[in-house]
Every structure is written in structure tokens, then in C-alpha cells.
Amino acid sequence: MADALLELRDLRKAFGGLQVTDGVNLDVLPGEIHAVIGPNGAGKTTLINEITGRLSLDSGHVIFCGQDVTHLSMAARARRGLARSFQITSIIPGFSALENTALAVQARSGSSFRFFRPASTESRLNAPALEALDAVGLAHRADVPAGSLSHGEKRQLELAIAIATAPKLLLLDEPLAGAGPEETERLIGILRGLTARYAILLVEHDMRAVFALADRISVLVYGRLIATGDVASIRGDAAVRAAYLGEDEAA
């Protein structure tokens, strides 16, 4: 088995008397989509925040590319190749798709932000920004204001922005949230295509998408992992069905 790109070792976090992450051990291998599922309040977004450094740990270790990054800042982790998207889109509506993506390239390069001079006017930012847009099927909409994009296209743009930071691992927090059936199918195809270049840790409630995409699935309930395995083993796990899937989604 290939060495893990990401290893989480006994992560623990409490808010007062509430244990929100309770001894989580998980890894992500190069080129795989590892999905994390669980009911609302299970601690999935908290886990993403701990991996990125947005939230500090009480104990445990985050190992990325063989190095302990537990005490590094969000920015330092991002520079090492950890990129995330959010449940709620975080684009600049008045900027074009290209400008939004070029800003991510600009941040990656360490350039200062000069909003009076749009990033997309600098040729050295255009090529990687357009490449990222093309990777998510949005190059033909490069000049469209982000606020005018459809919901699904905004999700594609968020993926492009994450890709533009030159990541090794994509941390995607409900990238299909709010998408209609056609948009969901398009996004599933895009995510499947991205695994040729990136490993993905996917938090998602759409179980049809999870079952279509995931190489492995981990089930988080009240801050604890109750199961990890391939799609077939998770669908057939009685404890998982009782805690989350139910008979209809497991069928």
C-alpha cells in the first residue's frame, strides 16, 4: 500500500464538556477519494477545520506528506499543499471567474493583493488560473462575473480556486450542497476526473454521490469514527445503517 498523504492520529477536541472529536484516526492515500459521512452534528466540518489549522487540537497529530503539521498555521499548511472548499461559497461576486481564480494564484505566489489592479490583468497569473478553470469545465465562463454564475457553476469555481493554490490534497466540505440533479451529475464527473491529479477528502451528505465517488468511506458519529471501509463494506455494516444510513440509503 502507498504511503499515506494525510494521517490523523488520535485527534481530540472538546468545547467545555462536549467532546467534538474523540480519538479520530484516519488516513488519505495518494489518488483516492476518501469520504467522511455522518449525521448533522457528527463533527465533520470540525474535523476539516482541525486538518487545515483553522481549529487547534487538544491532542493528537496531523501528519501531511510525512511531516507533522499539527502546530503550523493555516497559511503554512496551505503552502504545503492543503486546500479546502467550504459548505457556503466564498467567491467575490463582482469579480469574474478568472479574477477570482487569479487571486488564488496570486496568493500562492506570495504577491500582495492590489484590488485596484485586477489580478487577471497580470499575464503571469492568467495561464494557471485558466488551467484551473479548464480543469473544472469552466474556462468558457472565465469572463463572467462570479455572481452571475449558476449555483453549480459557483461550486465549480470554488473547486478551481482551490486547484489554483497548487494543492496536493483537496479538502471538500459538501461541494454538492444545493446542487440540482443535473448539476450534481456534472460535479460528480468533475470530481472523478480530478483524482488523476489530486487526492480528495470529501465531506458530503449526498449518499448517491458518495457511493459513486468514494474509494473508501469513514463514518463519523458524535466525534468518533465507527467504521472505515470500501463502499460495499460500509453499505453492509449494520452499525452504520443503524447510526446513519438507514435501510433505504444502504440498499
Question: What mean pLDDT comes out for the span 53-80?
Answer: 94
Residue 8 and residue 54 in one domain: yes
SS3 for 50-110 is HHHCCCCCCEEEEEECCEECCCCCHHHHHHHCEEEECCCCCCCCCCEHHHHHHHHHHHHHC
Question: Phi first, then psi: what are they for 154, rounded to 5°?
Answer: -65, -40
Give the C-alpha separation, 199 to 32, whole Å: 5
Residue 19 and residue 47 in one domain: yes
Residues counted in the chain: 251
Let me know: does 47 contact 24? Beta carbons within 8 Å.
yes
Let me know: does 104 contact 82? Beta carbons within 8 Å.
no
Q: pTM, whole model, 2 decimals?
A: 0.88
Reply yes or no on whether the pLDDT at 32 is more than 80: yes
Q: What does pLDDT average to over the chain?
A: 88
Q: How confident is the model at residue 246 (pLDDT cuts 50, 70, 90)?
A: low
Residue 98 and residue 21 in one domain: no
Q: What total number of domains does the chain contain?
A: 2
Residue 75 and residue 173 in one domain: yes
CATH of the domain at 64: 3.40.50.300
Distance separating the N- and C-terminal Cα atoms of the chain? 30
What is the DSSP-derived secondary structure letter of residue 130?
Answer: H
Q: How confident is the model at residue 113 (pLDDT cuts 50, 70, 90)?
A: very low
Residue 127 and residue 13 in one domain: no
Q: How confident is the model at residue 118 (pLDDT cuts 50, 70, 90)?
A: low
Residue 112 and residue 37 in one domain: no
Residue 175 and residue 246 in one domain: yes
Residue 65 and residue 95 in one domain: no
Residue 159 and residue 173 in one domain: no
